Amino acid sequence: MIGCGSGSSGAHGGLAAGAEHPMGLLIYPGGIEADFEDRLLAHLEIVITAKLRRDESFAFSWTQTQDTGGGRMKIWLHPSVPLSYKFFGGRQPAINRAWVDALMVSASSQSGLQVVAEPDQHADAARPARLAPLPPSLPPPLALPLPLLQKLR
**Domain edges within the chain:** 2-120
How many other C-beta atoms can be found within 10 angstroms of the C-beta atom of residue 91? Answer: 8
Give the model's pLDDT for residue 66: 83
Q: What is the pTM of this model?
A: 0.69
Give the model's pLDDT for residue 121: 74
d(CA 28, CA 24): 13
d(CA 113, CA 147): 60
pLDDT, one tens digit for every residue, the chain (153 residues): 555 644 333 334 444 444 567 899 999 999 999 999 999 999 999 999 999 999 999 999 999 888 878 899 999 999 999 999 999 988 899 999 999 999 999 999 999 999 999 998 775 554 444 444 545 555 555 555 666 556 665
d(CA 135, CA 126): 27
- End-to-end Cα distance, the chain: 82
Give the model's pLDDT for residue 21: 72
Can you name the residues that pair with 7 across neighbouring β-strands? none
Give the model's pLDDT for residue 101: 97
